[in-house]
Amino acid sequence: MQLTLDPYMFRRVPLTELPDVVAELGYKYIELSPREDFMPFFLHPRADRETISAFKSALSAAGVEVATVLPLYRWSGPDEDERQAAVRYWKRAIEITVELGCSVMNSEFNGRPERASVSESQFWRSMEELLPVFEREGIQLRLEPHPDDFIEDGRAAVDMIRGINSANVSFLYCAPHTFHMGGDIGGIMEYAGPLLTHLHVADSFDHRASSGLRYIVNPPGSPARVHQHLDIGQGEVNWEEFFETLSRLAFDGIMTVCVFAWEERARESSLFMREQIESRIRDWDHLRLAG
């Protein structure tokens, strides 16, 4: 298993200094999420040959690897011009990923939940163009259902990935989205089976609690999706079930720490999360072997 850090809380650290920061925190792997100076949200990548080369040198010097690259584009959006632009951005992001020597990318379904059928149609149109590129370049794509995507439910996302019918596309379970995915951690993971190749680890509160009144937003009936990316133990994700299920499934993919809530204590949070995960994995592995 690759324990990986999403360094989004360190995005103001210069790119060539980032690998040293990650190494100091005890991580060997990075999940390279959007940065304004490299691969921004929803825009064409900014990275050029010199930037990529300098980053690769810094990674090598720090003994850190890019385990996966996370771009986010409107490839399922109802607007056709935006969709076409997103496909162009994806193609450049794939080129950069290959240049980095990385073979894994992960992203969201995107699109709009209030226009789900149109968004799904746009998604398939984009996949028709991009899947041959992923397969030609040997890139593994891991997809997650995200709050406010056209697919939010965990099982529905697994079904969609099965429908893509490619050995290069699999499922990412994002723990802080547990309650938007249906709340059934073990059931969704087991339903995914061998398609479960990637995890995002952070805690969150159950927005459905208190008869749906835990978060009161105005005006009433707002479609806003509320969730958090907190340290383990600060929310309501069932971590016993999470790690027990992973142990039972003998999970051996990428596990990414993706806490975003504590930029003022980003180092402390990243250290805490690594220690928590390593400890819980050891505990569950001992129990599994004892059983």
What CATH number does residue 159 fall under?
Answer: 3.20.20.150
125-162 pLDDT per residue, tens: 999 999 999 999 999 999 999 998 999 999 999 999 99
Q: Which residue has the tokens 């163009």?
A: 129
Contact 249, 196 (CB under 8 A): yes
What's the chain's average pLDDT?
94
101 pLDDT more than 90: yes
Burial class (CB in 10 A: 0-12, 13-18, 19+), 282: exposed
Tell me, what amino acid is at 22? Answer: V
The Cα–Cα gap between 10 and 71 comes to 17
6 pLDDT more than 70: yes
pLDDT band, very low/low/confident/very high, at 216 (cuts 50, 70, 90): confident
Percent of the chain scoring above 90 in pLDDT: 87
In the chain, the largest separation of any two C-alpha atoms, in whole Å, equals 57
Range of the domain at 249: 2-290
Q: For residue 152, what pLDDT is reported?
A: 94
**Number of domains present in the structure of the chain:** 1
**What is the rounded end-to-end Cα distance, in angstroms, of the chain?**
21
How far is C-alpha 80 from the chain's CA centre? 25
